[in-house]
Amino acid sequence: MGYASLDYVDLKYRPTEEDLVCEYYLEPGEGRTLANAAEALAAESSIGTWTHIATLKPGTARKLKPHIYEINARAKTVKIAYNADLFEAGSIPQIWSAIAGNVFGMKAADNLRLLDVELPSSILRAYKGPALGIPGIRKMLNVSKRPLIGTIVKPKVGLSAKEHAQVAYEAWAGGLDLVKDDENLTSMKYNKFEDRLAATLEAKDLAEQETGEKKIYVCNVTAETMEMLRRAQLIKDQGGNCAMIDIITAGWAAVQSLREANTGLILHGHRAMHAAITRNRRHGISMLVFAKFARLAGIDELHIGAIYGKMEGTKKEVLTMEHEIEDRIIKPDERTHVLAEKWLHIKPTFAIASGGLHPGVLDKLVHAMGNDCICQAGGGVHGHEKGTRVGATAMRQALEATMKNIPLTKYAQTHPELNQALRQWGTKPTGGE
């Protein structure tokens, strides 16, 4: 049985500044045209259902029905403009329930993928966005222009709090800006959250004294929402500066709650589990959409993919999140950052590249992503033949060479730490850490 049509297709319609616009990839179900399937999508995501209903008043239909204003049969894409009154402006979960909810279960579509979302001012105004964003983080570290570099403590889990802190200290002392917990390290019986926090912040203080540089400890607070908020407050109370949340496994309401707590901490967004939803090019939701909502919710720095690493994700897909400008040759510091596009009062979000990176690909990464990025290497630091501190130094040297526009192989001739890293991993992308 088909969906009742309210003439959702209106190819002459032009979205207003107060419309929320979605672009979908859509493969129609058996016996349906693209336009017919798109009408089912528009109906299910808004005011319609499978049959005509007496409770839907004509005035309500005229005001709130979405408009399918573009259909690309060759690309199998449709664009739908939704009246902003269909959404609770301050609730990301409600917005997702509409534009990415029941629609994925419709028989009218064999495959469906939410490709992009454009948010109207009425919705943007309802959110604070990042408390610090790119400018606040740069001010905190006193680093005005260059990319930031960091690492993830390895192994992911298994270290005691004391061992974890020692690894972090070696990385900071070697020249890295930030050290983070991994996505599945929270509060384990062998590494309690409170113990790890205290020990690692002590290590951070020592590294700052020795290097004269400010450092960031990205401490994973992911948990049940009230426990997560308690952990974030502990970080603040003990002088920490950053809390990490696994944004998808924790959920959008949890992300919003963490931002609303107004701790003043950097909010670091990890995208664990995203590929279960984003990886299929014909079905699911693009990482671009997750990235936009993460910024809206208040994430200051967000994992978006590495291009030259172990994780799936094409260069084009990552750069879609990173840059609006792709068709001309430009310098890295001139690029326009999609996570920093003009959104009223909302600050820009740092893009994080992570997953299988090492010093030998840092120059390529920075050239592709520009200076407003955070480059994180786990195995590419700790796997250095001389250990974590030397691996961190190699990363810093690779960054120095890149910023001076000196080829890595040339810079390595007078920098033995980088030289060893290039001997180990070369200058090509790796398939894993």
Distance between CA atoms of 325 and 147, rounded to whole angstroms? 19
Are 154 and 55 in contact by the 8 Å Cβ rule? The answer is: no
- Going by their DSSP bridges, the two strands 77-83 and 19-28 should be labelled as antiparallel
Contact 28, 112 (CB under 8 A): no
Q: Measured at the alpha carbon of residue 318, what is the angle toward residues 313 and 324, in degrees to the nearest 5?
A: 155
Closest among 9, 127, 18 to 82, alpha carbons compared:
18
Q: Give the residue carrying structure tokens 């469906």.
A: 112
Q: Which of the residues 76, 128, 154, 315 is marked catalytic?
A: 154
Q: Which two tokens stand for residue 335?
A: 């690029």
What's phi and psi for 350, nearest 5 deg? Answer: -70, 135
The single residue of 67, 270, 358, 382 carrying the catalytic annotation is 270
Which residues, other chains included, contact 331 with Cβ-Cβ below 8 Å and sequence gap of 6+? none
Query: What would the two tokens of residue 189 be?
Result: 């019986």
Task: Calculate the alpha carbon distances from 166 to 171, 185, 217, 346 in Å.
Answer: 9, 16, 13, 37
Asked if residue 128 lies in contact with residue 257, where contact means CB atoms within 8 angstroms, the answer is no
**Residue 154 annotated as catalytic:** yes
Interhelix angle 92-99/287-297, nearest 10 degrees? 160
Q: Are 180 and 376 in contact (CB under 8 A)?
A: yes
**The pair of three-digit structure tokens given for residue 25, joined into one six-digit string:** 């990839």
Q: What positions carry a catalytic annotation? A: 154, 270
